[in-house]
Chains A and B, each alone.
Chain A
Amino acid sequence: MSVSMLLAVVLICAAVFYVLGNRRAIGVSGGDSRQLHSRPNYYGILAALWFAIPAIAVIVVWQVLQGHFLEGGIVDSLPPDVLERSADQVRLVVATIKSLAFGGIASGVEPYMLESAAGYRSAHGFSQTLMSIMSLALGLLVAGTTVARITPQTRARNGVERIVKAMLIACASLAILTTAGIVLSMLFETINFFKTVPLSNFFFSTEWDPRFSSAGRDGGDTGQFGMIPLMVGTMYVAFVAMLVAVPIGLLAAMYLAEYATPKFRATAKPMLEILAGIPTVVYGFFALVTVGPFLRDTGDIMGLDIDARSVMTAGIVMGIMIIPFISSLSDDVITQVPRSLREGSLGLGATKSETIRKVIFPAALPGIVGSILLAASRAIGETMIVVMAAGVAANLSGNPFEPMTTVTVKIVNQLTGDNEFTSPQTLVAFALGMTLFVITLGLNIFALHIVRKYREQYD
Chain B
Amino acid sequence: MSTQSEVSHSIGATIPAEVSRRLKRRYAAERRFQAYGIGAIMIGLMFLLIMFVSIIQAGLPAFQETRIRLDVELPADKFPDDPAEQTAEGMRLVGWTGLIQQAIRDQLQPETRADALAMHKLLSPNAEVGLRDIVVADPSLIGKSVSVWLLSAGDVDAIVKGTMSRDVPETQRTISDRQLTFIDTLEEQDRLRSQFAFTLFSAGASSYPESAGIGVALVGSLYMMLVVLCLALPIGVAAAVYLEEFAPKNRWTDVIEVNINNLAAVPSIVFGLLGLAVFINFVELPRSAPLVGGLVLTLMTLPTVIIATRAALKAVPPSIREAALGIGASKMQSIFHHVLPLAAPGILTSIIIGLAQALGETAPLLMIGMVATVFTYPETPMDPATALPVQIFMWSGLPERGFVARTSAGIMVLLTFLIFMNAVAVYLRKKFERRW
Q: Measuring CB to CB, which residues of chain A are less than 8 angstroms from any residue of chain B?
A: 64, 67, 157, 161, 164-165, 167-169, 171-176, 178-179, 181-182, 185-186, 188-189, 247-252, 254-256, 259, 268, 271-272, 274-275, 277-286, 288-290, 320, 323-324, 327, 351-354, 356-357, 374, 377-378, 380-384, 387-388, 408, 411-412, 415-416, 421, 429-430, 433, 436-437, 440-441, 444-445, 448
Contacts and interface: CB of A to CB of B under 8 A. Distances in A.
B269 A411 contact: yes
A268 B45 contact: yes
Nearest to B336: A164
A114 B277 CA distance: 30
Interface string B378-411: 0000000000010011001100000010011001
B220 interface: no
B247 to A, nearest CB: 7
Interface string B29-68: 1101110111111011101101100110010000000000
Contacts of B356: 277
Nearest to B40: A251
Contacts of A285: 55, 392, 396, 407-408, 411
A282 B268 contact: no
B360 A278 contact: yes
Given A271-B45, A356-B33, A175 B40 contact: no
A448 B246 CA distance: 25
A282 B273 contact: no
Contact of B238 (A171, A250, A441): A171
Interface in B287-331: 299, 302-303, 306, 330-331
Contacts of A173: 256
A175 B259 contact: yes
Contact of A278 (B262, B276, B366, B415): B415
Contacts of B36: 251, 255
A385 to B, nearest CB: 10
15 contacts: A182-B274, A188-B277, A268-B41, A268-B45, A275-B47, A278-B51, A279-B362, A281-B411, A282-B360, A282-B392, A282-B414, A320-B44, A412-B269, A437-B266, A440-B265
B229 interface: no
A412 B363 contact: yes
Contact of A251 (B37, B239, B278, B392): B37
B27 interface: yes
Given A168-B246, A383-B267, A383-B268, A289 B58 contact: yes
Interface string B412-430: 0011001000100000000
Contacts of A440: 265-267
B362 A384 contact: yes
Interface string B250-289: 0000011001111101111111011011100111100000
A442 to B, nearest CB: 11
Given A172-B239, A383-B268, A441-B266, A415 B276 contact: yes
A381 B55 contact: no
A274 B421 CA distance: 13
Given A175-B239, A182-B273, A448-B261, 10 more contacts: A67-B284, A171-B239, A255-B40, A275-B47, A279-B389, A282-B55, A354-B30, A382-B267, A415-B366, A441-B266
Contacts of B359: 279
B241 interface: yes
B330 to A, nearest CB: 6
Contact of B281 (A161, A283, A351, A421): A421
A415 B367 contact: yes
A165 B336 CA distance: 12
Contacts of B246: 165, 168
Contacts of A437: 266-267, 270
A174 B273 contact: no
Contact of A272 (B38, B44, B54, B367): B44
Nearest to A447: B265
Given A178-B299, A381-B270, A274 B48 contact: yes
Contact of B34 (A167, A255, A272, A280): A255
B432 interface: no
3 residue pairs, one from A and one from B, having the closest CB atoms: A381-B267, A255-B37, A279-B360
Interface in B346-384: 356, 359-363, 366-367, 371
A378 to B, nearest CB: 7
B242 interface: yes
Q: Chain A interface mostly helix, strand, loop or mixed?
A: helix
B332 A255 contact: no
A179 B300 CA distance: 11
Contacts of B267: 378, 380-383, 408, 436-437, 440
A181 B274 contact: yes
A81 B405 CA distance: 56
A179 B259 CA distance: 7
Nearest to A280: B362
Nearest to B282: A185
B278 A181 contact: yes
Given A268-B41, A416-B371, A320 B47 contact: yes
Given A268-B41, A280-B363, A186 B273 contact: yes
Given A185-B278, A272-B41, A282-B414, A444 B422 contact: no
A407 to B, nearest CB: 9
B58, B299, B359 pick with most chain A CB within 10 angstroms: B299
A176 B330 CA distance: 29
Contacts of B330: 157, 161
B256 A175 contact: yes
A254 B38 CA distance: 10
A179 to B, nearest CB: 5
B242 A172 contact: yes
B74 interface: no
A255 B38 contact: yes
B26 interface: yes
B243 interface: yes
Nearest to B353: A277
A441 B397 CA distance: 32
Contacts of B422: 277
B225 to A, nearest CB: 14
Contacts of A164: 332
B235 interface: yes
B363 to A, nearest CB: 4
A203 to B, nearest CB: 19
Contact of B306 (A165, A175, A429, A445): A175
A254 B37 contact: yes
Nearest to A439: B267
A290 B262 contact: no
B205 to A, nearest CB: 16
A175 B270 contact: no
Contacts of B284: 67
Interface string B122-135: 00000000000000
A175 B415 CA distance: 30
B44 A248 contact: yes
B411 A352 contact: no
B364 to A, nearest CB: 9
Contacts of B366: 412, 415-416
Contacts of B48: 271, 274-275
A421 B356 CA distance: 32
Contacts of A67: 284
Nearest to B369: A416
Contact of A165 (B235, B282, B332, B404): B332
Nearest to A95: B284
A268, A274, A382, A448 pick with most chain B CB within 10 angstroms: A274
Contacts of A289: 54, 58, 396, 404
Contacts of A268: 41, 45
Contact of B40 (A165, A247, A278, A430): A247
